[in-house]
């Protein structure tokens, strides 16, 4: 015969109720526990047998990346510093070249010098007559010995442009050409000529000559270090000169191009 269950005394039940109440109080007043880190999912093998899908886990929190705004601010500060240094070089060294000037002028437009104290939009056209023919130029311009005029077919009509050339048997040549710009479309001839003149400027390659003596301004260059080229502007007229050949390499062509330019402009002014 099984023994009957004996009821616990009332004092035992009171003790159990007090302990449960204390546990409930501690749970309510305790600070929230830190969530346990969730391990990253294990890599899946390339050829694994079918298995029961794993339970879905919470996404793993990754560290926050630096804010792009901060990176942009740092880049702006560095750029400003580079431009400040480069700008100081460009401002204090006329005609400066190299990385500093290159970096500066990538952002800031390079100043374009213009001789004279009158704005070009107020300058009247100086050259209005037809340009001289090559026949006239050949008789007025003296070139070094050995050069002979290259024949050219010409017409007596109004000429706003012209080109004349001398050559030698050894393959040297001197070429001179002019272009006259007349005021039109609300712009002066000086403005139009200046625009054409600046189209030939190449930073680090062409050099500015603001006092060549026979035009208001000039650009000088030696392509590939082999021959001499000069671009000139005088008010509303542009001038081009080239001296090249085995007998007139760089080092000898500079004086020839300057003297030829002086006489070529004198021939135009004599009209």
The pLDDT tens digits for 2-40 are: 444 455 566 656 666 776 776 566 556 655 555 555 555
Per the domain annotation, does 237 fall within a domain? yes
Same domain membership, residue 227 and residue 131: yes
Domain membership of residue 164 as a residue range = 120-269
Same domain membership, residue 180 and residue 101: no
How many domains does the chain divide into?
2
Strands of 228-234's sheet in order across: 148-149, 161-167, 173-180, 237-244, 228-234, 217-221, 207-209
- The shares of helix, strand and coil residues in the chain, as percent rounded to the nearest 5, are 35, 15, 50
Per the domain annotation, does 48 fall within a domain? no
**Domain stops at, among 83, 107, 131:** 107
pLDDT of 52 higher than 70: no
Per the domain annotation, does 36 fall within a domain? no
User: What predicted TM-score, i.e. pTM, was given to this entire model?
Assistant: 0.64
Same domain membership, residue 248 and residue 206: yes
* Mean pLDDT for all residues in the chain: 80
Task: Give whole-number Cα distances, 64 to 22, 37, 68, 73, in Å.
Answer: 42, 17, 12, 18
Same domain membership, residue 243 and residue 179: yes
Same domain membership, residue 259 and residue 189: yes
Same domain membership, residue 92 and residue 203: no
> For position 263, which CATH number holds?
3.40.1000
Per the domain annotation, does 156 fall within a domain? yes
Distance CA(227)–CA(262), nearest Å, equals: 19
Same domain membership, residue 199 and residue 83: no
Distance CA(169)–CA(98), nearest Å, equals: 41
pLDDT of 123 higher than 90: yes
Per the domain annotation, does 62 fall within a domain? no
Per the domain annotation, does 196 fall within a domain? yes
The per-residue pLDDT for range 181-231, each reduced to its tens digit, is 999 999 999 999 999 999 999 988 999 999 999 999 999 999 999 999 999
């Amino acid at each position: 015969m099984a023994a009957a269950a004996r009821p616990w005394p009332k004092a035992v039940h009171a003790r159990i109720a007090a302990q449960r109440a204390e546990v409930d109080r501690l749970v309510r007043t305790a600070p929230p526990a830190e969530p346990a880190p969730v391990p990253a999912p294990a890599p899946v093998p390339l050829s694994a047998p079918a298995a029961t899908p794993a339970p879905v886990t919470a996404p793993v929190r990754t560290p926050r990346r630096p804010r792009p705004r901060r990176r942009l601010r740092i880049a702006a500060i560095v750029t400003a510093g580079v431009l400040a240094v480069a700008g100081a070089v460009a401002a204090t060294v006329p005609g400066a070249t190299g990385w500093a000037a290159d970096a500066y002028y990538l952002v800031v437009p390079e100043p374009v010098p213009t001789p004279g104290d009158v704005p070009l939009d107020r300058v009247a056209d100086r050259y209005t007559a037809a340009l001289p023919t090559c026949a006239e130029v050949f008789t007025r311009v003296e070139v070094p010995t050995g050069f002979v005029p290259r024949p050219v077919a010409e017409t007596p009509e109004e000429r706003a442009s012209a080109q004349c050339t001398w050559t030698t048997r050894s393959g040297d040549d001197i070429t001179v050409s002019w272009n006259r710009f007349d005021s039109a479309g609300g712009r002066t001839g000086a403005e139009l000529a200046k625009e054409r003149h600046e189209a030939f400027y190449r930073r680090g390659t062409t050099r500015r000559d603001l006092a060549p003596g026979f035009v208001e301004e000039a650009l000088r260059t030696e392509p590939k270090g082999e021959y001499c080229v000069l671009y000139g502007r005088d008010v509303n007229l542009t001038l081009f000169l080239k001296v090249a050949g085995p007998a007139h390499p760089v080092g000898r062509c500079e004086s020839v191009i300057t003297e030829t330019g002086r006489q070529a402009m004198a021939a135009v002014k004599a009209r």
